[in-house]
Homo-oligomer: A and B are copies of this chain.
């Protein structure tokens, strides 16, 4: 280990664009831009789509749970829910017997809009996933997970 690639305690490369953080940010920005443009034509924002997707898989999620799932604050998700509610894509009870969390559910229209949006998002996911060798995909998913866990801890 006299040159080349030092092992565990190596400092980040001098060139910013060679650092993991920069690459991560670039990929995330590209994804955000692509989804933003595609969803705009469907009349949805990225957080709105994320919210619908989460509710489809786990109906009854509360505002706070949705916020965590979409990586935004409770306050932000609150306005997102309000918008979706006004648009008639979700329903949420005004009160509840048990606790304070208000469970949200998709409406029929919500399911339709989600299905329409899903097709374009799938296409984007395909384009992105297709850019990485298939045998490396599982490792990639795992690494991203570990990175997030290491930073959240």
Contacts and interface: CB of A to CB of B under 8 A. Distances in A.
Given A129-B12, A140-B140, A143-B131, A148 B27 contact: yes
Contact of A144 (B24, B129, B134, B141): B24
Of the listed residues A19, A24, A27, A151, the one surrounded by the most CB atoms of chain B closer than 10 A to its CB is A27
A148 to B, nearest CB: 4
B23 A144 contact: yes
A128 B151 contact: yes
A126 B8 CA distance: 9
Interface string A84-111: 0000000000000000000000000000
24 contacts: A8-B130, A14-B57, A16-B53, A18-B141, A20-B140, A23-B144, A23-B145, A24-B28, A25-B31, A26-B144, A27-B28, A27-B151, A29-B148, A31-B147, A31-B151, A33-B151, A34-B151, A127-B150, A127-B151, A128-B147, A130-B150, A132-B147, A136-B139, A140-B143
